[in-house]
Structure 1
């Protein structure tokens, strides 16, 4: 029988407490310089192209720490080059697909996609549209699995999306004909790693995780806030581990030794709120 990855069983929106303490992202940013020497000791990659995608209302500047870290590990890192992410816009989705194809054909290598929050939805779309150009997909707290009840993101984020992107909310953009595969919850034909936090104050864990065969997808729990995922040392360790795998030999995340013990202590041993 095939082992399956399963969505987190949480229901409803993020807890109000977690939404109120999203400011703890500042602490995650402050801690990062002290962990940088240890991060610099992680194995280097094989130099393949990695495309980083920002979250809602963020631009390439929000990805500076992740970009610097991955470039230091030897990857050819690029950001999407489309300015601020103001929602799942058709023109951005089309431009992203073209950029993935351009990177693939220009380098002769398949591209790994790393998307933070709504950037992960764009990354999923790109992997579905151009799977032959994509090596693997990593999402960071991304709403990749919205149920028929609609988005359960925090009320503040939903209100901001309606104000900036579309007055009827994110569901309108996901219903675009070009986003048909997204609303059908199809998995890309490439390995997919969904990083999520049960204390995420923006995207609830059931929306940031997927169901599917473990030979193709996985859900990896991390400790931290939503707005700090791009500066989170644990996230960087896991992203580096995922990207360093040989192409065509992807395996689910399985931390071992002392790092594995620390990871389990900080995540799975924690009591969900």
Structure 2
């Protein structure tokens, strides 16, 4: 694992077919690797009860973040799922993200403190969008393998996104929201990314010119990345301030 970054661009290609084909076995290994990681995970900084909202990736629901949620709860955070069903783009969060924004407003009103957003893949894009719209209600953003900094065509899932969301990646609405999402955030953020990702090009999962964003490179597949012990521990360290964030 290393902390580094690379400038985004619009000419990045999707990951190779070889990396794409390796996604399932690598995801399976992520699950297996949890078995011997309890001691390492429990050594992370303890939480302070702050609210943490977990946003799933494309097609996924809160079940995909169940392990992360339970882990963060065990550390002492108030970790919650987004409660909006499967993430199918605007069909889940509303045309302008109003359902997600209302969820954040409600959690903030209930707890009285800004909400930390952790988003996996498409969920990370939505987390950045929400932070721009509600900067006073969001404490920080952590994105995990989220392709927010480049063309959707630099992924192997853009056609699935179009089919499920009903949006065209080149539409004016999607293009405008993408331009908003990639702008430097008004809150601290961390972008966790992998150049060996088989579904999205890791080079569009981080930027160098965001003064409030720390880029952390890992070696991981896309599927199951949120289950990898080193990713869970990294997130815990970020929240606990062990990496200079949190």
Calculate the TM-score normalised by the size of structure 1: 0.80
Stretches (4+) displaced over 4 A: 170-173
1:20 corresponds to which residue? 21
Q: How does 1:60-209 map to 2 (within 5 A)?
A: 60-89=62-91, 91=94, 93-147=97-151, 150-154=152-156, 157-166=157-166, 168-169=168-169, 171=171, 174-175=174-175, 179=177, 182=180, 185-209=182-206
Larger Rg: 1
Q: Distance in 1 between matches of 2:162 and 2:130?
A: 24
User: What is the CA-CA distance between 1:129 and the residue it aligns to?
Assistant: 0.5
Cα shift at 1:172 = 5.6
SS in 1 for 2:107: helix
- The equivalent position to 2:42 in structure 1, one of 40, 43, 49, is 40
Name the CA distance, whole Å, in 2 between partners of 1:151 and 1:171: 13
In structure 1, what is the equivalent of residue 214 of structure 2?
218
RMSD: 2.4
Q: Kindly tell me: are residues 128 and 78 of structure 1, through their superposed partners in 2, closer, same or farther at Cα, counting changes over 3 Å?
A: same
Structure 1 residue 170 displacement after superposition: 6.9
The answer to whether the 8 A contact 1:103-1:111 is kept is yes
State the aligned residue count: 239
Q: Which stretches in structure 2 are left out of the alignment for 5+ residues?
A: none
Check if 1:237 corresponds to 2:240: no
CA distance in 2, matches of 1:145, 1:213: 11
Structure possessing the higher relative contact order (Cα contacts under 8 Å, 6 or more residues apart): 2
